[in-house]
Structure 1
């Protein structure tokens, strides 16, 4: 489960590198303390992810979502694979798109406000705001958190999701893009491959866990029969 969070985070960060990295570069070039600014910015961003994951985990525990965990996990895997193969950048759902546009506009206005402050608390708060930016991979990860065992697991999953985005968000995007180019891949192909891999893992782990549980139940049944 945890390696899935890291992989989805890395995939999402590559997919959204054009949107998120410029924000980070603008923030971290405000003062000479670039390293500290990046720690503050990403710390705030990952904290937001964790809090959202805790909220999603709590919401999931209120509903019988766990009962359908295998089906939902397979569905998420299929969505990832289809989105990668069909090169779907976003789903155009009218109501959701209006909400996402409104949220993005509000966050951008707050960014403009905090950028004038040029202080450590302002940079941390900008990082927290970045965590609320609408993103398909983030929403997918939050949806997965609803299948976990409560807020703690949801928080941990999303913190690891955030950790998976760090290579791009700490300024390593040019190096990653160069490595992808030297591998005779485009950023599109690399992202597509990671999305497919994430989808395959989500589907495969469902069958692996189902097989383990079936084996355990089978073993228990044999023990009962032998005792009799």
Structure 2
């Protein structure tokens, strides 16, 4: 499986991540000595963030404070990526078992093709969502609201986030936040063919989101304001939309229509192979 497309989906979709996760990552940072106490931003289960618990952040020497910020933000993201990897391993492992059953029944090739087409349709829908041309992806995010309602109280207990250990645990819980973009990546992990490849797929996706969320954690509101610009969000959405369309063209070639050829595979999520 080519990991470049899923990495780029994470990178382009980072503008959405800033809205969902950028608040808590920014709250981890205390680099500005004159900053007023921040507040933890926790999702309310409907995809919106609300202020719930004050974070009492003490000002320190700027250089030392920056290093503390860096460690906390890195710890948070390490926890977040670990939860993605676990989800990917579960998705990839479960799907691998189902594919083995489909192979026994002689349904393997149709099942693989169907999963591949569904994955790229979700990428198209995600691209439309990021461009704000269609908001139906929010319904998909609501599917995980029940699980998040159980996790959120545990996340609240970790603030103030004054140690790397707390940041790591908070990130590992935050990775289960209802998010249509994560769900689309999980559909890709379902195609990976094994638990290990499913985990690797989600790590590639998480690595794509990492640069922007690291920058958001260290630059505060400035980057979040930039990412909120409609033009940037639409540009990122168009890229994700293009990946989905290329994947559907690739699926048409799989079906014998002869639309796509070798070069396009580099930019598409490859169909899973049995074995």
The correspondence of residues 11-50 of structure 1 with structure 2, limited to 5 A, is 11-29=12-30, 30=57, 32=65, 33-50=68-85
Contact 2:88 2:201 in 1 (8 A): yes
Structure-2 separation of matches of 1:121 and 1:133: 19
Q: Deviations over 1:19-66 (max 9, x none)?
A: 210011112335720111111111111111111111111001110276
Is 1:92 aligned with 2:139? Answer: yes
**How far 1:210 moved relative to its partner?**
7.3
Structure-1 separation of matches of 2:148 and 2:211: 23
SS at match of 2:28: helix
**How far 1:206 moved relative to its partner?**
4.0
Is 1:197 aligned with 2:252? Answer: no
SS at match of 1:16: helix
How many pairs are equivalent? 207
**How far 1:207 moved relative to its partner?**
5.2
Q: Deviations over 1:165-201 (max 9, x none)?
A: 01221125855975996xxx61331232122123124
Contact 1:15 1:191 in 2 (8 A): no
Instruction: Pick the structure with more helix per residue.
Output: 1
Contact 1:4 1:201 in 2 (8 A): no
Q: Deviations over 1:90-139 (max 9, x none)?
A: 3437xx83x53333333332222111362221110011011111111111
The 1:179–1:22 alpha-carbon spacing in structure 2 relative to 1, beyond 3 Å, is: closer
Match of 1:80 among 123, 133, 141: 123
Match of 1:186 among 231, 242, 248: 231
The 1:74–1:127 alpha-carbon spacing in structure 2 relative to 1, beyond 3 Å, is: same
The 1:171–1:74 alpha-carbon spacing in structure 2 relative to 1, beyond 3 Å, is: same
Structure-2 separation of matches of 1:143 and 1:201: 17
**How far 1:205 moved relative to its partner?**
4.3
SS at match of 2:144: helix
Where relative contact order (Cα < 8 A, 6+ residues apart) is larger, the structure is 1
Q: Which runs of 5+ in 1 are unaligned?
A: 216-228
Structure-1 separation of matches of 2:73 and 2:227: 22
User: Aligned residue for 1:166?
Assistant: 210
Q: Deviations over 1:54-96 (max 9, x none)?
A: 1111001110276322232222222332454442253437xx8
The 1:13–1:89 alpha-carbon spacing in structure 2 relative to 1, beyond 3 Å, is: farther
Q: Give the superposed CA RMSD.
A: 3.1
The two structures have a TM-score, normalised by structure 2, of: 0.65
